[in-house]
Structure 1
Amino acid sequence: MLKQSTSLKVRLPALVVALEVVMLFLYAVFVTYDDDADAKMQTNETRPMDNTLYRDYHFFADVQVMIFVGFGCLLAFLRLYGFSGMVFNFLTATFAIQWAILVQGYFQFYSDGKIHLGVINLLNAEFACAVVLISFGAVLGKVSPVQLLVMALLEVPVFSVTEWAVLKYIKINDAGGSILIHLFACYFGLAVTFVLFRPSLNDGHAKDVTCYQSDILSLMGTLFLWVFWPSFNSALTLKGDDQHRAVLHTFIGLSSSTLTAFAFSAMLNKRGKLTLADIQNVTLAGGVTVGATVDMMITPAAAFALGVMGCTACMTSAASTTFTASQGSSPRWRGICAILLATEETYGPSLYETFAYRAPPEGDPKLLELQKLIPGLKPGLGRSGKEQAVYQVAALFCTVSLAALGGIVTGFVLKLPFLASPSDEWCYDDEVFFEVPSDFDSPGLLKVPIDSQETKV
């Protein structure tokens, strides 16, 4: 019989109702429409097609597919944990996006003390959600939905504070989120698992296995992520040539990492066969690796090389067997080199748009000259390429430190006994939290219900 401590009958409804009541209050008090969604701001001269909806919605829709379909299917790779992988992803993502709109909006309050909600807010919230879902991969099968909601509740603010501090005070380039999304999520997830470590699972678990159907479903998730990753990496870049480069570099990086993953998978397998886990996870490494430099003039050849490097790092890493680690182990030092080598000779005046913090400061005569060439160019900090590279390194260490600290604290919170954590024997099993069909766990055969003595064939 299942232990009563895993029952969701009171815990999940109580937590969800409490969270939704608090958020309803916060939305009512602090959230309003942005100008492009506010009917009062529209006039006879307003051109509907100039609305930011038509600029941002297709990116939002693409990332939606990645979040709910791509991640959902990818996390359903365990034989007895398909319901949980997809449904807990659905539950956690929905809450994380709602919560991130508020938390991220706190750092963007307008003069009226309101969060002005537009599609761009939803898009930013989905990036915060992606952080939670990547970290979810590190604890998959070993936590309850109540614990996942608590993890999202704590991780979103830690991520948002890190994002705000790094972008506002350290000021870096990270268009595709290699540092602030993937690196943060990796170390946060690893820190949580460090605290939640279960010694009895160290040598594996009988239910920590895949099957033919679950592997196919997970591979579908990989394909959805692969197809839409260019939108993920380019969504928040500067419109125009920067965004164009981001799409090109992401596709090239993904393509090269995919081919390299196939080669490595066959080469490293003792019998010279392909391992599906490599295809499911490591093929995506190129999208992560190019992230920090995705909008820069790194050349298509460099994007190709970054894809190969990212895949190689994942395949040769001892931690590459987990989804989270494979997302966090891709090299990012190429981005620092790209910043060091970025010059006006390569970029022209647009150097100071792509690297906004290298623009001349207020009062510098060069700023006036540049503003004639680039109307609307804002004053920067006048950093050199070397100085900006140092700040990129500082951002790496800051992100890892805050993620690890936040993950450790979160791990201790998740160990609280009333959060319905499954026992070791019931890890990786849908039956702990779901009513399962009669053929659960037995393809082609009917399963005997737990509370029944009858044998069904």
Structure 2
Amino acid sequence: SPGLRFRLPFVIILFQAIFLTLFSLFVTYNEHTDAAAQTNETDHSQNELYEIFPLFQDIQVMIFIGFGFLMAFMKQYGFAGVAFNFLTANFAIQWALLVQGFFNHYYHGKIHIGIYNLINAEFACATVLISLGAVLGKVSPIQLLVLALFEIPIYVTTEWTISEYLKISDVGGSMVLHVFACYFGMSVTRVLYRPGLKDGHSKEKSSYQSDLLAMMGTIFLWIFWPSFNSALANRGDDQHRAVIHTYIALSSCTLTTFALTSMVEKKGKINMALIENATLAGGVAVGTSVDMMVTPGGAFILGCIASVVCTLGFKYLTPFLAKHLKIQDQCGIHNLHGIPGIVGAIGGIITILLSSEDTYGLSLYETFPHRAPAHDDPKLSEMVRLLPVLKAGAGRSASEQALYQAATLGVSIGASVLGGFLTGLVLKLPILAQLPDEHCFDDEPYFEVPELEEKELNQIKISSENCEEKLRLNEN
């Protein structure tokens, strides 16, 4: 449309010019990437690139392939599902590098970046892509960029507040990432409620081919989720546990989902939409406790619970929210990220309440650094003698740490709901090129679609043939 033809390029070029200016003025290298920081004694094998690059690449696959193809499940919105995910992800990562840099890596007038900054930026990007799922097919690409523009600073501010003041454990992001992203997106879609779509849309459905694409996205996410959950865990046994727990939770979740989807369908057949989504819920639910001593059995249980709440959510809760609360959750992010994220928060609280030195040894204070004795506590010096890497903490008990975990869940939900509501109000502005209901869930307004062009030519040919036949009849 003319609105997109001029507004979308203008918005992209404007923001790229702003980002280029900010990168040029404020962004520089950290000690692992700065050539001037290296000497003849530098051990390049200790560069953080070799420590984390494989995990970074795994997360890249999740962001651009996993999320992208999972969003291609609608039969006439495949181009947009993949391409707009690609567009939004690149925008969000650039913006997150700057916003996170000013919060956490700004000193001597510069933002110092390395590969860890890229990973953290991709975590921030994941929140945007999850939120995008609630409004998929109902917003223009300009609105998606504005969504990312607002959500990234709100997410980073919330994450920084939780890290700075609540000091909790959530390396897989069940609360800080998944719950936040879910309720942010739910608030946005509530503000953007479309009465014309309350009875569905003819183009909203999937097809055989689109479900295959979405299932491919699911499998990529499933395979690489252990990297996502373990990337920010402490190196060594914590990270090792995170990989094992994530895999077990995903596996138990998958088998449970196959059983449940057959049970809840009237004819006992497997529902591909449930397989595409609910099989991933275990990775969300185990996120908070993933590096803790939750035990393999505990991870197995979390995966099963996540599958149950996610599957039943898709079957019963999503229609209820759409009908009674006017929340049109297009991809069911409440079922895949919101409820399993809350399950993960509860699982983390229970695991923390059961944690002790008997189970962890002194590494308890590495996994939960804020439970270590304070700097003025005489116990600290003795512990440091036994574990030299130990640092002073806040001296919290297990119950105190659990209360801070619960408070984090409340802060995450509150900040996301408020932020999503305000962002939704901005997205309603007419200048952002919101499409009418009849053009939702359709590639045609945005892309040159080969199949549609061929269909139009066939229709023209048929119409021409009909006209010629009528002329012959009239002549006779």
State the TM-score, normalizing by the size of structure 2: 0.92
What does residue 377 of structure 1 align with? 390
What does residue 445 of structure 2 align with? 432
Report if the CA contact (8 A) 2:105-2:113 is conserved: no
Following the alignment from structure 1 to structure 2, what is the Cα–Cα distance between the partners of residues 383 and 182? 26
What does residue 233 of structure 1 align with? 229
Following the alignment from structure 1 to structure 2, what is the Cα–Cα distance between the partners of residues 58 and 76? 27
Report if the CA contact (8 A) 1:448-1:455 is conserved: no
AA matched with 2:413? V
AA matched with 1:375? P
Q: Secondary structure at the match of 1:298?
A: coil
What does residue 329 of structure 1 align with? 339
Q: Secondary structure at the match of 2:32?
A: helix
Aligned runs of 1:355-374 on 2, under 5 Å? 355-374=368-387
TM-fit CA distance, 1:40: 0.6
Aligned runs of 1:220-369 on 2, under 5 Å? 220-317=216-313, 318-319=316-317, 322-325=331-334, 326-330=336-340, 331-332=343-344, 333-369=346-382
Moved over 4 A (4+): none
Tell me the number of residue pairs that the alignment of Structure 1 and Structure 2 aligns: 447
Q: Secondary structure at the match of 1:115?
A: strand
Structure number with higher helix proportion: 2
User: Higher mean Cα deviation, 103-112 or 207-216?
Assistant: 103-112
Following the alignment from structure 1 to structure 2, what is the Cα–Cα distance between the partners of residues 25 and 374? 46
AA matched with 2:286? V
Following the alignment from structure 2 to structure 1, what is the Cα–Cα distance between the partners of residues 399 and 28? 42
CA shift in 2, pair 1:158/1:449, >3 Å? farther
TM-fit CA distance, 1:454: 4.1
Following the alignment from structure 2 to structure 1, what is the Cα–Cα distance between the partners of residues 243 and 332? 24
Report if the CA contact (8 A) 2:59-2:227 is conserved: yes
Following the alignment from structure 1 to structure 2, what is the Cα–Cα distance between the partners of residues 339 and 234? 18
Following the alignment from structure 1 to structure 2, what is the Cα–Cα distance between the partners of residues 252 and 36? 35
Report if the CA contact (8 A) 2:251-2:303 is conserved: yes
TM-fit CA distance, 1:323: 3.5
Structure with larger Rg: 2
> Does residue 41 of structure 2 align to residue 33 of structure 1?
no
Following the alignment from structure 1 to structure 2, what is the Cα–Cα distance between the partners of residues 364 and 319? 50
**Among 188, 193, 204, the residue aligned to 2:200:** 204
Aligned runs of 1:44-443 on 2, under 5 Å? 44-317=40-313, 318-319=316-317, 322-325=331-334, 326-330=336-340, 331-332=343-344, 333-437=346-450, 439-440=451-452
TM-fit CA distance, 1:389: 0.6
Runs of at least 5 residues in structure 2 that lack an aligned partner in the other structure? 319-329, 466-476
TM-fit CA distance, 1:242: 0.1
AA matched with 1:344? E
AA matched with 1:324? I
State the TM-score, normalizing by the size of structure 1: 0.96
Q: Secondary structure at the match of 2:107?
A: coil
Q: Secondary structure at the match of 1:116?
A: strand
CA shift in 2, pair 1:449/1:420, >3 Å? farther
**Among 441, 456, 468, the residue aligned to 1:448:** 456
Deviations for 1:131-153, whole angstroms, at most 9, x for unmatched residues? 00000100000000000000000
Report if the CA contact (8 A) 2:136-2:331 is conserved: no
TM-fit CA distance, 1:453: 4.3
Following the alignment from structure 1 to structure 2, what is the Cα–Cα distance between the partners of residues 104 and 130? 14
Q: Secondary structure at the match of 1:204?
A: coil
Following the alignment from structure 2 to structure 1, what is the Cα–Cα distance between the partners of residues 457 and 292? 58
Report if the CA contact (8 A) 2:8-2:142 is conserved: yes
TM-fit CA distance, 1:109: 3.4
Q: Percent identity?
A: 55
Aligned-residue Cα RMSD (Å) equals: 1.5
TM-fit CA distance, 1:304: 0.3
